[in-house]
Structure 1
Amino acid sequence: MNEDRLETQNAFSDLTAFQRDLLRALAKTDEQSGLSLKTDLATYYQDEINHSRLYQNLDELVAHGFIEKRQRDGRTNSYSLTDAARTALANRDAWVRGETA
């Protein structure tokens, strides 16, 4: 396994379940606003998602290089998965299925 891939996998394995759920929500429909992610996760958790929890975790995922943040307009940001996140999610799925990643 090359060094970059190992570093990405290690960073991915250190994510919280909430952060992984954010990545899964983005994997379903890429290029989402924070509000749409908040709504999607609130439906899944059947509970309200705290605004600061959401955006702190999104910012952390940006810092890890798993999502990209773009400004849509003066108030709204758009979030999308990076290739590193797509690869990390695919590797985890393969591992869960018992396949070698």
Structure 2
Amino acid sequence: MYDLTAFQRDLLYVIAGLDQPHGLALKEELETYYEGEIHHGRLYPNLDTLVEKGLVSKSSKDRRTNEYTISNRGEREIETRQKWEQKYLSDSITT
């Protein structure tokens, strides 16, 4: 996961949190978080990168719509990232 961009990492997290989302659902979710438009030219190449890296699986819902699911490798990468983040955040954040 260390070689992903922040956008790709956010995209991976959203895919993991939704049930077989399609591209437009991902786009809408990210637009809410980023408070701005996510262009197709940004979204789909980054989705393809996640698929190529084996972090996400892509399947056809119909002729025009693809669905995305987190792969086992993607889940492991997220877990590793969360442990790494927690290592640094647990001591610095107080409630």
TM over 0.5: yes
Q: Establish whether residue 35 from structure 1 lines up as the match of residue 24 from structure 2.
A: yes
Q: Establish whether residue 51 from structure 1 lines up as the match of residue 32 from structure 2.
A: no
Runs (4+) of structure 1 moved beyond 2 Å? none
Q: Which residues of 2 match residues 1-101 of structure 1 at below 5 A?
A: 12-98=1-87
Unaligned runs of 5+ in 2: 89-95
CA distance in 1, matches of 2:51, 2:69: 10
Alignment coverage as a number of residue pairs = 88
Unaligned runs of 5+ in 1: 1-11
Q: Would you say the 8 A contact 1:26–1:81 is kept in 2?
A: yes
CA distance in 1, matches of 2:54, 2:75: 11
Identity %: 45
CA distance in 1, matches of 2:42, 2:15: 17
Spell out, residue by residue over 1:30-84, the C-alpha distance to the aligned partner (whole angstroms, 9 max, x if none). Answer: 3100000000000000000011110000001100000000000010000010000
CA distance in 2, matches of 1:97, 1:57: 26
CA distance in 1, matches of 2:17, 2:40: 21
Q: Would you say the 8 A contact 1:30–1:81 is kept in 2?
A: no
The TM-score normalised by the length of structure 2 is 0.89
